[in-house]
DNA sequence: CCATAGATTGACT
DNA sequence: GTCAATCTATGGA
């Protein structure tokens, strides 16, 4: 059973996502991601995200060299999910931004558990900060894989609700990339202990 | 606490 | 063939 004051506010609509990726990314921090499944509900508060821009503007973006089979969802309808598989075993999830036909996405890197912690512990086989303090950990805690690629956030079982703005918001270069290391496209709530510990490459 | 090596596979050059 | 928007175990201070 959900708490009475849940969802916390308003579900983000198509127009929220259909803007420049760099505008959307910082606004996602503090929002609440909810996934309703037949036998479980999980909700997390987003505390760390990264913007990845379109074709030619951002050397670290999957869309940098144009549309391919893997990244095609980055060019699709805003407000959908772009999930990719990496390092032979991990999935990471992004929120698609920009008008359809223009690439852009926000990687969801870390979040705080709000509801369904038991479900997440089972999926992660771990607890505490290890539940959701990294992009692949978050995806695993939600039980999402490539089958969720293209899932709509505006309608259906997966959605994002606006939440209380974080007291502070910081930005920095992105984690774990080897190109465009100077671009400050990572946004996070410095007061959350769930922010990922990702190493910054030299 | 910190640093590092290994895992493991699909996408792309 | 190379490399990846990462995680975990392990070993040392």
Residue listed under structure tokens 């946004």: A187
The answer to whether strand C lies under 7 Å from the CB of residue A130 is yes
pLDDT band at residue A197 using 50, 70 and 90 as cut-offs: confident
Q: Strand B: which nucleotides have any atom within 7 A of a protein Cβ? A: 4, 7-13
Q: What is the pTM of this model?
A: 0.95
User: Can you give the pLDDT at residue A62?
Assistant: 98
Cis omega before residue A17 (within 30°)?
A: no
Q: Strand C: which nucleotides have any atom within 7 A of a protein Cβ? A: 3-8
The answer to whether strand B lies under 7 Å from the CB of residue A71 is yes
Distances (CA, A) of A11 to A3, A75, A106, A163: 17, 23, 17, 10
User: Can you give the pLDDT at residue A65?
Assistant: 94
The answer to whether strand B lies under 7 Å from the CB of residue A85 is yes
pLDDT band at residue A1 using 50, 70 and 90 as cut-offs: low
User: Can you give the pLDDT at residue A9?
Assistant: 85
Domains of chain A: 8-188 (3.10.300.10)
Can you give the distance from the CA of residue A46 to the C1' of nucleotide B5 in angstroms? 31
């Amino acid at each position: 059973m959900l708490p009475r004051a849940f969802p916390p506010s308003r579900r983000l609509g198509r127009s929220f996502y259909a803007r420049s990726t760099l505008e959307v990314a910082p606004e996602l921090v503090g929002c609440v991601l909810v996934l309703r499944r037949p036998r479980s509900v999980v909700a997390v508060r987003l505390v760390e995200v990264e913007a990845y821009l379109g074709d030619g503007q951002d050397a670290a973006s999957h869309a940098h060299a144009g549309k391919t089979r893997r990244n095609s969802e980055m060019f699709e309808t805003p407000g959908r999910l772009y999930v990719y598989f990496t390092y032979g075993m991990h999935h990471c999830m992004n929120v698609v931004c920009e008008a359809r036909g223009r690439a852009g996405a926000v990687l969801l890197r870390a979040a705080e558990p709000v509801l369904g912690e038991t479900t997440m512990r089972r999926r992660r086989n771990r607890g505490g900060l290890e539940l959701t303090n990294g992009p692949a950990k978050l995806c695993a805690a939600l039980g999402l894989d490539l089958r969720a690629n293209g899932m709509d956030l505006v309608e259906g079982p997966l959605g994002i609700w606006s939440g209380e703005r974080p007291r502070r918001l910081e930005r920095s270069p992105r984690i774990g990339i080897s190109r465009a290391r100077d671009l400050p496209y990572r946004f996070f709530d410095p007061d959350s202990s769930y922010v990922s510990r990702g190493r910054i490459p030299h």
